[in-house]
Structure 1
Amino acid sequence: MEIHKLISELQYKAVRSSGAGGQNVNKVSSKVVLSFDLKNSQALSDEEKLLLENNLSSRLTSDLILILNCDEDRSQLKNKEIVTKRFLELIRKGLIVPKIRKATRIPKSVIKKRIKDKKNLSEIKKSRRKPDF
């Protein structure tokens, strides 16, 4: 994965931010919307695309486009930096291959201990009962 090539494929769009902010919010388009077309990306290999498609499936549109928003700052440039960092972090985490879990046998000593503890608890509870004559 080449970061510079990946960043060059990003598309940014500046829109008016929502919420409070007075006149500034009505005049300035400070919110930044980042979109990344995963299907047509040249920076990622087919294996990486498949891995990202599986790991980021909840964040992708039906056309395999990742959309991120940022309106944390009043500055458009700062929002662009924040959303780009967020995107790179998301891609980095999405490319991590989880380790395959190896099934292991339960040791006999652990099974014996569990059964012994169950019998012990059963005896304690039995001793609490009222005697039946």
Structure 2
Amino acid sequence: MSTVELFNLTTLPRQSAALYSTSRDNIKFHVPRDKIDFQFSRSSGPGGQNVNKVNTKVEARFNVNQADWLSDHCKDMLYSNYRNNINSAGEFVINSSKYREQKLNLHDCIEKLERILLKSSIIPKERLPTDVPTYAQERRKKDKMFRSDIKAGRGKVFMNDSSE
């Protein structure tokens, strides 16, 4: 199965975010940078005096309902799986303060967003119902009999009065 079969590209508009791949394991989701609002603020954590002077923390946000570059399936998955990242205004918010440099935090924030959107874009395959194989049924019955024998031996022990 090719990587394109994993995604429902027919629901995405032509100018939307593109899913592209160089190999089967290296799938990326392109996020249009002009559609994302980035805000910078002072980061917490180590850094000495630098923490109080430089705005290194990056916060990326976009309105999920107005994101015409996302498929409806992706929006639904964002609402169901990442509802803690969506505020009351319907904006998806993600931040990064992992590094001491703004540029690295910006790159990290975009990577996080791409990873989340890629996860949300994948449409799971429908499971085809199958019968339980005979060997599995036999193994289950054998295990049940074994457990039954163990539990049967746990009963009360009665003293035999006829031995006197």
Pick the TM interval, shorter chain.
0.7 to 0.9
- Alignment of 1:22 with 2:48, yes or no, is yes
Q: Which shifted more, 11-20 or 51-60?
A: 51-60
- Alignment of 1:82 with 2:97, yes or no, is no
Correspondence for 2:58:
32
Change (3 A) 1:109 1:26: closer
Counterpart Cα distance in 2 of 1:111 and 1:7: 54
What TM-score comes out, normalization by structure 1 length? 0.77
Deviations 1:32-74 (A, max 9, x none): 1111211111322444433433343343223321111111112
Counterpart Cα distance in 2 of 1:127 and 1:50: 54
Correspondence for 1:95:
121
Change (3 A) 1:73 1:131: same
Candidates 84, 88, 91, aligned match of 1:62: 88
Q: Would the aligned equivalents of 2:56 and 2:105 in 1 still touch at CA under 8 Å?
A: yes
The gaps in structure 2 that reach 5 residues or longer are 1-15, 19-29
Candidates 97, 106, 109, aligned match of 1:71: 97
What TM-score comes out, normalization by structure 2 length? 0.65
Q: Would the aligned equivalents of 2:74 and 2:117 in 1 still touch at CA under 8 Å?
A: no
Supply the RMSD in Å over aligned alpha carbons.
2.8
Q: Which shifted more, 119-128 or 63-72?
A: 119-128
Q: Would the aligned equivalents of 2:41 and 2:58 in 1 still touch at CA under 8 Å?
A: yes
Correspondence for 2:17:
2
Q: Would the aligned equivalents of 2:31 and 2:114 in 1 still touch at CA under 8 Å?
A: no
Correspondence for 2:24:
none
The gaps in structure 1 that reach 5 residues or longer are none
Aligned AA for 1:2?
A
Aligned AA for 2:92?
L
Report the secondary structure of 1:118's partner residue.
helix
What percent of counterpart residues are identical?
32
**Moved >4 Å (runs of 4+):** 123-133
Counterpart Cα distance in 2 of 1:82 and 1:124: 55
Report the secondary structure of 2:78's partner residue.
helix
